[in-house]
Amino acid sequence: MKHLNIDHSSGVPIYVQLKQKIKYAIAANIFPPETKLPTVRSLAVALKINVNTVSKVYSELEQEGILVTKQGKGTFVKKIPAPEEKLRQERLEQLARYILVEAYEMGLKPEELLNMLQETIKKN
CATH number, domain at 39?
Answer: 1.10.10.10
Provide the terminal-to-terminal Cα distance of the chain, rounded to the nearest Å.
12
- Number of domains forming the structure of the chain: 2
Q: Are residues 89 and 28 in the same domain?
A: no
Looking at 77, 97, 113, the residue that finishes a domain is 77
Same domain, 41 and 64: yes
The verdict on pTM exceeding 0.95 is: no
Which of 39, 59, 77 marks a domain boundary? Answer: 77
Taking the CA atoms of 102, 105, 110 and 111 in sequence, report the sign of the dihedral they define. negative
- Where among 62, 77, 92 does a domain terminate? 77
Question: Please, what is the average pLDDT of the chain?
Answer: 90
Same domain, 13 and 58: yes
Q: Which of 74, 57, 44 is nearest to 66 (CA)?
A: 57
Domain extent, residue 105, equals 82-123
Mean pLDDT value of segment 18-35:
92
Among residues of the chain, what percentage have pLDDT more than 70?
95
Mean pLDDT confidence for 87-96: 87
CB burial string 97-121: b at 16+ within 10 A, e below: eeeeeebeeeebeeeebeeeeeeee
Q: Do both 72 and 90 map to the same domain?
A: no
CB 99 within 8 A of CB 106: no
pLDDT at 104 over 80: yes
Mean pLDDT confidence for 76-87: 81
59 and 99 co-located in one domain: no
SS (H, E, C) 54-95: HHHHHHHHHHCCCEEEECCCEEEECCCCHHHHHHHHHHHHHH
